[in-house]
Amino acid sequence: MNDQRSDQQFEQPISSSAMQDLAGVLARMSDALDNQSLFRSEIRSLRDEVAALRAEREAESARREAESARQEEAVRTLREEVASLKRRLSSGQGDGSGIDFPPAEFLASPLVIASGGEFLGVQGKGKHFSLKDFVQLIERKESATVAVETSWKRQDGHWVLVVRTESAEGGREQNIVLVAKKTVTPSRNTVTEIIRLNIDGNDAPDALLLTLFRQLKTVLNG
């Protein structure tokens, strides 16, 4: 009899108000699911948009870096061409005037200083630092705001490099005189020795030359 009563209770029709309530619940659930799906779709769309903007920004940044590197390389090449032309003019190759200019071997030999009975040079990444490298470092300072002039002369068996720089801002000038000579070390190595470095009329002490060479070594080794 209990089973019969239970079956009878399940067989009783649901009232219209209960059906309306159930329909309302289902409608709200359906709306909630639709909204959730819409939100997810919007989130995916926003994520895709952010990813596209990030990729576009990275591509633009890479393009700018490449363009900047290209321009720097073009400027460096142009400066080297100008410096080469200056050296040719100084050596008299342009007009046959025969102005003194150091030989290539002298410029390419290791640049050293004498300290405590030893010859100290600069070695960076498997390559020694030469007088030619030193001159190129100075000439690279030339820009739209800094003018650089270099000249050579032979004096008492030594080579004298005279460098004059002038800044367009304030008209500040700097004069550098470097005196070097060819030297053969006890190890029978041919080097170019700096015997004097004068900056604005003041001779640089040995301690300053040592500091300069240490800084050059740090720069060359990155």
The answer to whether 178 touches 201, Cβ cutoff 8 Å, is no
pLDDT at residue 44 in the model = 81
Q: Which residue has the higher pLDDT, 169 or 83?
A: 169
pLDDT in tens, 97-153: 445 788 889 999 999 998 888 888 888 677 888 999 888 888 888 777 888 888 888
**What letter does residue 99 receive in the DSSP assignment?**
-
175-182: long-range contacts at Cβ-Cβ below 8 A with a sequence spacing of 24 or more?
175/199, 175/200, 175/201, 176/138, 176/200, 178/134, 179/155, 180/106, 180/111, 180/131, 181/157, 182/106, 182/109
The SS3 of residue 188 is: coil
Q: Domain segments of the chain: what residues?
A: 12-97, 104-220
Q: Quick one: how many helices (H) and strands (E) in the chain?
A: 5, 9
- Which residues lie across from 178 on neighbouring strands? 161, 197
The amino acid at 212: L
Residue 216 in this model has a pLDDT that exceeds 50: yes
Percent of all residues in the chain with a pLDDT value above 70, rounded to a whole number:
74
The SS3 of residue 206 is: helix
Report if pTM > 0.85: no
Residue 67 in this model has a pLDDT that exceeds 50: yes
pLDDT at residue 143 in the model = 77
Q: Which residue has the higher pLDDT, 15 or 163?
A: 163
pLDDT bucket at 32, cuts 50 / 70 / 90: low
pLDDT at residue 1 in the model = 46
